[in-house]
Amino acid sequence: MNNKRIWLSLAHMGGHEQKFIQEAFDTNWVVPLGPNVDGFEKDLEAFLAQERHIVALSAGTAAIHLGLIQLGVGPGDEVACQSFTFSASANPIKYLGADPVFVDSEPDTWNMSPGFLREAIEDRIAKMGKKPKAIIPVHLYGMPAKMDEIMAIAREYEIPVLEDAAEAIGSEYKGRKCGTFGEFACLSFNGNKMITTSGGGALVCRTGEEAKHTKFLATQARDQAPHYQHSHIGYNYRMSNICAGIGRGQMLVLRDHVARRREINALYRKLLEDVPGVSFLVNPNADFNSNHWLTCIVVNPDVAGFSREDIRMKMEEENIETRPLWKPMHLQPVFAGTPYYGGNTAEKLFDNGLCLPSGSSLSDEDIQRVADVVRETAGKA
């Protein structure tokens, strides 16, 4: 057995991060805020290229929290949220005393179903006498959601959209970067994402005023006064100048990382194209251009003759890290009893889906090794 561990998605340094970090040490900017934070925000704004204003924060979760606050979400409100996602998409709703209303995915993109979103909105109006306060679609695993349809419904009911683009920096829908469709959007730079700041995130804002208010809330909401005075509840959510230095170095290789993840996805699909019962999350048509942050497969055990778990366990034996797809939020114990609209698309994906190692630092030989395990499991070796 090849004992080298193949990880799901490790951070991949580009070589210039140390320069920005050293500058921070040389100038004693080792605290939150500083030139690297400003520079990282400008780099991200230039990359998105949609006249957006970006605020670098401690996490993508913090970005969702501050976005929801500015959308007026509070106790007693409801927020329509994609069920098939990581818990960070939904937890900030509860931080504010509001309740999520979970919406199933559709099969093409695995993201929020526009049809079930409409059903959820109409039913909440009928049952609660009011519409959801916000909508949180997620560009899952880098695949853009059907934003034209979701935004049309949002405009029809006059409900603001907060995009969860934590996994989708570099992805595009109809030539437009994910994270630029909603009133707000969150980005994530966790250690396993497309680029990293060790830990961190950002809130994408439409206006300078929104960005200014985000910075105010993220720095403990300190009033303009010579002493410490607070008229609002604030948060310690700003990114440190050290972490932002990592981010500035990462921005220099972001396009390379996206290109490599797409190459890895294409290589997996080529290596496994003749394995029955194994399918991939792919761009539905030319409107979608996923960054393929993680390459994901779904196993149909009736056709394949083996299950997702068979592959996962065999991978672990071979010292290869994989991960089941997200367990839907409406099935999570912490959200028991929460309203849910949809069928069983998310449940089927969770039952049968697997994330394969996809880090941009992986070699073609690493990908071949992973594919060989799938082929061996399928009797195709």
Average pLDDT over residues 274-279: 97
pLDDT of residue 1: 54
Average pLDDT over residues 289-293: 98
pLDDT of residue 14: 87
pLDDT of residue 33: 80
Q: What is the mean pLDDT of the chain?
A: 96
CATH number corresponding to 17-253: 3.40.640.10
Average pLDDT over residues 325-347: 98
pLDDT of residue 48: 96
Q: Do domains 17-253 and 255-377 have the same CATH topology?
A: no
pLDDT-derived band at 304, boundaries 50, 70, 90: very high
Query: Over 80: is that where the pLDDT of 380 sits?
Result: no
Average pLDDT over residues 213-224: 93
Average pLDDT over residues 239-258: 95
Q: How confident is the model over 44-80, as pLDDT tens digits?
A: 999 998 899 999 999 999 999 999 999 999 999 999 9
Residue ranges per domain, the chain?
17-253, 255-377
SS3 sequence, the chain? CCCCCECCCCCCCCCCHHHHHHHHHHCCCCCECCHHHHHHHHHHHHHHCCCCEEEEECCHHHHHHHHHHHCCCCCCCEEEEECCCCHHHCHHHHHCCCEEEEECECCCCCCECHHHHHHHHHHHHHHHCCCCCEEECECHHHCCCCHHHHHHHHHHHCCCEEEECCCCCCCEECCEECCCCCCEEEEECCCCCCCCCCCCEEEEECCHHHHHHHHHHHECCCCCCCCCCCCCCCCECECEHHHHHHHHHHHCCHHHHHHHHHHHHHHHHHHCCCCCCEEECCCCCCCEECCCCCEEEEECHHHHCCCHHHHHHHHHHCCECCEECCCCHHHCHHHCCCCEECCCHHHHHHHHEEEECCCCCCCHHHHHHHHHHHHHHCCCC
Average pLDDT over residues 102-109: 98
pLDDT of residue 381: 64
pLDDT of residue 2: 62
pTM for the model stands at 0.96
Reply yes or no on domain 255-377 having CATH 3.90.1150.10. yes
Q: How confident is the model over 33-51, as pLDDT tens digits?
A: 889 999 999 999 999 988 9
Query: Over 70: is that where the pLDDT of 237 sits?
Result: yes
